[in-house]
Amino acid sequence: MNSTLKSAWYTIGQLTDIPRLGAKVVTFHGQPIAVFRTQTDDVFALNDLCPHKGGPLSQGIVHDHKVTCPLHGWVIELDSGSATAPDEGCSHTYPVRVTAGKIEIEIQNMAVIEPNTETLST
């Protein structure tokens, strides 16, 4: 098994796989990543953990470019992963792009074995 440290783009599905104001969870190397779609079809990805108590952001309510954590109501900015004031904290974000209706996420600085193997699941 030959692995190297690099950045790579991975197709995780179609834009239509995620309902507007909804989310989908993908897992990469055991890390759950929430991929969100806004009402205007903007797409964002961040760790599926609220910076407050680790709640599943993918189960929260998406509004504008934010998600409200279902556990304690923290509001997280989807573009930066930052909690809105007065709360403080941040969830890691990932670059995302939509190309020809396909959602791609960039995974940076991780050991990558082969694209589209068991390391990426939806």
Give tens-digit pLDDT for 74-118.
999 999 999 999 999 999 999 999 999 999 999 986 554 444 433
Confidence band (pLDDT; 50, 70, 90) for 29?
A: confident
Task: Give 29 or 9, the one with higher predicted confidence.
Answer: 9
The whole-number pLDDT of residue 118 equals 38
Task: Give 101 or 7, the one with higher predicted confidence.
Answer: 101
Cβ pair 92, 47 in contact under 8 A: yes
For residues 81 and 83, give the distance between their C-alpha atoms in angstroms, rounded to a whole number.
7
Q: For each of the domains in the chain, give its residue range(s) and CATH number, in order of start.
A: 15-99 (2.102.10.10)
121 has a pLDDT exceeding 60: no
34 has a pLDDT exceeding 80: yes
Cβ pair 69, 60 in contact under 8 A: yes
